[in-house]
Structure 1
């Protein structure tokens, strides 16, 4: 793990920097701040005066991430790409709050993205925009600049001027402070085919099947009930799984996307839980289910097999067609490959 060689715990280097396909991240200048567990991967270019919060992840593995000057990424937030399709480009003076995901999209300058926001693939965010807390920007949405947006899907609510945008950015940054410290925990014994990122936190009775991947800044707390993860399942950056009773069981060949939150539940095989989804206690998700980004479940809800579910709370949107099933298989295969590559790159640091 890379630690900043400076005094008084002034962190100006991410905790973990890894190459991808031989390409290292490129910083225009030393960041103003890098939090505990902060992680930057691959073909990412980060502009001057960046601020990267605790457990924040910037991951450019297959496409590029370009972030402008004075980019602020809040605690447990994630910037990622669509591996086979599109990178992420962000302008200058952009502020991202806590637990948000900026995914394979284009964001203009002077934009405020508040807490718990998900921006999905192909979206275009204009200059001088505010995306309010808890919103989901749907794929390929085009949000004109100079307005505030809210909801899921995010819809234009009112105009905003430069002064308000600057004020909201400043308030968001002030609220974040230094962020909480995650308690240290011993990693479980894992076999050679499993990848667990150094910036992930695993505590208690965690069982990981062959070929599984637990990516950067995930937090798996099984100190009450167990967490059991099936073979070749991937758990992506900044996902938090915390048991309070019976525990969590996730089937094989399943994808848990970025910044998912889940408590005691059951998730079947060959399923996909979308970016920023929230799975409440007692939820039962059958095999072959896709849960859309930003969706939530009610306690005790049962999600029937063979469907795309979405909304708050989740409801059936459509049957799973052959194209979606094939996409879900490709994601699992891709993350098995990522796991092997990351394991080798991480071992090379020791």
Structure 2
């Protein structure tokens, strides 16, 4: 059993200690990833080591539509043994110890350090550079210790999470995207309906774009990262140019301006209008019809202004866009070479 899609990065292919126990539909492993024995990778599970290394211990379990990634310029990802990750979670550029349970919809962000012997409850966000000492259950955004936890409870919750995974819902057939040569659409992405992708845009692995009611329009050089889901059920979705949509983002009918960044695991409610030059923090949500004015960093549930979008953040956002344009060019070539 091997993933649906395996690609190298800079000539380096993933290394598996042994053949995985299971690899689901749309599962993808890329680059300098080392994966221990008895791994289980669910449907649309993505492990992407394209710029730093990913090291996953024995008996690693990755739930359906979950993502493991790195920060290209700063952090790899290291995970210990017997770690269980639920559905729609993101483990990003961080260190996680052994015997850890990461439940559904959890986001762990860059530079975080999660000790062994931890449970992170569903929907929690572990903020950048946070340290979660072992021996506790964590919840909330930011994740905070709630109570002590025993090794027996950790093992029980891991087993319960795995048993609850089941099969992911069957997906309707995807359309064959008609795009120009500069656009990258991952083989494991699924596009349906009226979708227009601007020059140089990228749609990464296991994304779902469903425009069966209103259209989806994506601007030039905009990137939509792994496992993000865009579903139009009304007026449609319009995203400006030079914008980043992070991993595992959920977007309903809305407008998102140019040169913006929608952080990992964010959720955009119907009718939201996001102006140009906005950063929306990881794990944030918007209310239906909310307006996010430009030039600001927004975050929280629901989103509120956290401060001005300074020059450092703008430069970081620009680097991400440039990096994903490069990724798109590389992945177009690699997908053709590794059918």
Q: How far apart are 1:181 and its partner, in Å?
A: 2.2
Q: CA deviation at 1:187?
A: 2.4
Give yes or no for the alignment of 1:212 onto 2:205. Answer: no
Conserved 8 A contact 1:188-1:207: no
SS at structure 2 position matched to 1:249: strand
* Counterpart-to-counterpart distance in 1, 2:227 and 2:271: 22
Structure 1 residue 312: deviation in Å? 0.1
Residues 1:344 and 2:297 aligned together: no
Who is 1:227 aligned against?
Answer: 216
Q: Does 1:146 align with 2:113?
A: no
Counterpart for residue 264 of structure 1: 253
- The CA deviation at 1:139 is 0.2
Contact 1:35–1:178 under 8 Å retained in 2 = no
For residues 282-325 of structure 1, the C-alpha deviation after alignment (integer angstroms, 9 at most, x for no partner) is 00000000000000000000000000000000000010000000
Q: Which runs of 4+ in 1 moved over 3 A?
A: none
| Distance in 1 of aligned mates of 2:127 and 2:294 | 24
Per-residue CA deviation, residues 78-115 of structure 1 (Å, 9 max, x unaligned), is 00000011100000000000000000000000000000
1:186 Cα deviation after fit? 1.1
Contact 1:259 1:276 in 2 (8 A): yes
Q: 1:302 aligns with which of 291, 306, 326?
A: 291
After TM superposition, the score normalised by the length of structure 2 is: 0.99
User: Is 2:246 the counterpart of 1:254?
Assistant: no
SS of corresponding position for 2:10: coil
Distance in 1 between the 2:6 and 2:182 partners? 22
Q: Which residue of 1 aligns with 2:161?
A: 172
Counterpart in 2 of 1:4? none
Alignment partners' CA distance in 2, 1:154 and 1:169: 19
Give the length in aligned residue pairs.
Answer: 339
Q: Does 1:62 align with 2:71?
A: no
SS of the equivalent of 1:21 reads coil
Deviation at 1:177, TM superposition (A): 1.5
Residue equivalent to 1:242: 231
The CA deviation string for residues 206-230 of structure 1, in whole angstroms up to 9 with x for no partner, is 1000000000000000011100000
Picking from 129, 153, 168, the partner of 2:118 is 129
Query: 1:208 and 1:159 mapped to 2: Cα distance?
Result: 49
Give 3-state SS (helix, strand or coil) of 2:11's partner. Answer: coil
The aligned runs of 1:1-350 (5 Å cut-off) are: 12-350=1-339
2:57 and 2:299 map into 1 onto residues whose CA distance is 33
The structural deviation recorded for 1:188 is 2.4
> 1:185, 1:216 → 2: CA distance?
14
Task: State the superposition RMSD in angstroms.
Answer: 0.5
Q: Which runs of 5+ in 2 are unaligned?
A: none
Deviation at 1:76, TM superposition (A): 0.2
Give the TM-score normalised by the residue count of structure 1. Answer: 0.96
CA distance in 2, matches of 1:337, 1:314: 31
Q: CA deviation at 1:349?
A: 1.9
| 1:101-159 C-alpha deviation (Å, 9 max, x unpaired) | 00000000000000000000000001110000000000000000010000000000000
Q: Which runs of 5+ in 1 are unaligned?
A: 1-11
